């Protein structure tokens, strides 16, 4: 059998064998919130924003394969609460100042904050001291905004064929390390897909931050995930 059938929030979904829940949901026009997941690279299962309930057990939708007959819950008050907590923790454990960030309006963390109605975090801000690497002529790495999703590292490895960045340290000391120590000493090019893989304003090309004016950016008009949900509605 090359197909499996299951439900998400009561909606029948047909998946190709081997597809994960998040992929099958997306094909069916159902948005499962995510941050570390990115189409085209292997899932990291890192951020846990895509947690769903599979037969009432929490699973990461980006790594869990679709199985025949399973019952998936994606949109419940409990899941919304968990996801909101994860997002709030991400906001307070880094230094995210959206109003000053050139990624504002194109940032997936910010857009999820709006989608989940986050106004003031419930947790204490950590205000960590983190190193900014501006050594590269064309790219900046601002670790203050890094949410350790790993999209850049996986993209660099899998799509660009390099090993420019990876994680160093463990637990709350984990951070993004640069092979060669400074970004300028790596072979990273501004055209590498790793640079555009960053969902927040941590890894960004220089001098293009305001090429698209505020008000015309990706998430300025519609919530993140709308483009996926449009498939189910038959277009916006």
Q: Which of 25, 60, 72, 146 binds ligand SF4 (CB under 6 A)?
A: 146
28 φψ region: left (φ > 0), alpha (ψ -120 to 50), beta (else)? alpha
The reply on whether position 49 binds ligand SF4 by CB under 6 A is no
Query: What is the C-alpha end-to-end distance of the chain, expressed in Å?
Result: 34
The reply on whether position 24 binds ligand SF4 by CB under 6 A is no
Among 28, 31, 34, 32, residue whose Cα is nearest residue 11: 28
Instruction: For residues 24 and 17, give the distance between their C-alpha atoms in angstroms, rounded to a whole number.
Output: 10
- Interface stretch with ligand SF4, choices 8-16, 62-70, 141-149, 211-219 (CB under 6 A): 141-149
The reply on whether position 157 binds ligand SF4 by CB under 6 A is no
The reply on whether position 151 binds ligand SF4 by CB under 6 A is yes
User: Where do runs of H (alpha helix) occur along 139-235?
Assistant: 151-158, 193-196, 226-233
CB of 25 to ligand SF4, least distance (A): 22
CB of 92 to ligand SF4, least distance (A): 16
Ramachandran angles phi, psi of 203, nearest 5°: -120, 110
Instruction: For residues 54 and 64, give the distance between their C-alpha atoms in angstroms, rounded to a whole number.
Output: 9
CB of 151 to ligand SF4, least distance (A): 4
Q: Is 106 helix (H, G, I), strand (E, B) or coil?
A: coil
Size of the site for ligand SF4 (CB under 6 A): 13
By C-beta, is 182 or 232 nearer to ligand SF4? 182
By C-beta, is 24 or 154 nearer to ligand SF4? 154
Q: Which of 202, 219, 224, 225 binds ligand SF4 (CB under 6 A)?
A: 202
* 173-192 binders of ligand SF4 (CB under 6 A): 176
User: Token pair of 158, please?
Assistant: 């899998």
The reply on whether position 197 binds ligand SF4 by CB under 6 A is yes
The reply on whether position 149 binds ligand SF4 by CB under 6 A is yes
Beta bridge partners of 132: 142
Q: Which of 66, 198, 219, 224 binds ligand SF4 (CB under 6 A)?
A: 198
Residue 3 makes CB contacts below 8 A (sequence gap 6+) with 14, 15, 16, 17
Instruction: For residues 33 and 90, give the distance between their C-alpha atoms in angstroms, rounded to a whole number.
Output: 15
Q: Which residues bind ligand SF4 (CB under 6 A)?
A: 146-152, 176, 197-198, 200, 202-203
């Amino acid at each position: 059998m090359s197909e499996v059938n299951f439900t998400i929030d009561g909606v029948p979904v047909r998946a190709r064998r081997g597809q994960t829940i998040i992929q099958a949901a997306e094909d069916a026009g159902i948005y499962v919130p995510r941050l570390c997941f990115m189409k085209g690279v292997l899932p990291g299962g890192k951020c846990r924003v895509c947690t769903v309930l599979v037969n009432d057990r929490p699973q990461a939708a980006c790594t869990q394969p679709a199985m025949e007959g399973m019952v998936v819950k994606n949109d419940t008050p409990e899941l919304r609460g968990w996801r909101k907590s994860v997002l709030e923790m991400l906001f307070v454990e880094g230094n995210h100042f959206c109003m000053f960030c050139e990624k504002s309006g194109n940032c997936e963390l910010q857009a999820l904050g709006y989608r989940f109605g986050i106004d003031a975090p419930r947790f204490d801000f950590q205000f960590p001291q983190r190193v900014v690497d501006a050594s590269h002529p064309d790219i900046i790495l601002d670790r203050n905004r890094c949410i350790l999703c790993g999209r850049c590292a996986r993209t660099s490895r899998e799509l660009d064929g390099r090993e420019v960045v990876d994680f160093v340290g463990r637990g709350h000391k984990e951070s993004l390390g640069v092979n060669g120590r400074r970004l300028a000493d790596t072979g990273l090019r501004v055209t590498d897909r790793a640079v555009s893989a960053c969902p927040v304003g941590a890894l960004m090309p220089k001098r293009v931050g305001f090429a698209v004016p505020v008000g015309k950016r990706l998430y300025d008009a519609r919530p993140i995930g709308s483009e996926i949900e449009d498939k189910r509605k038959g277009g916006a």
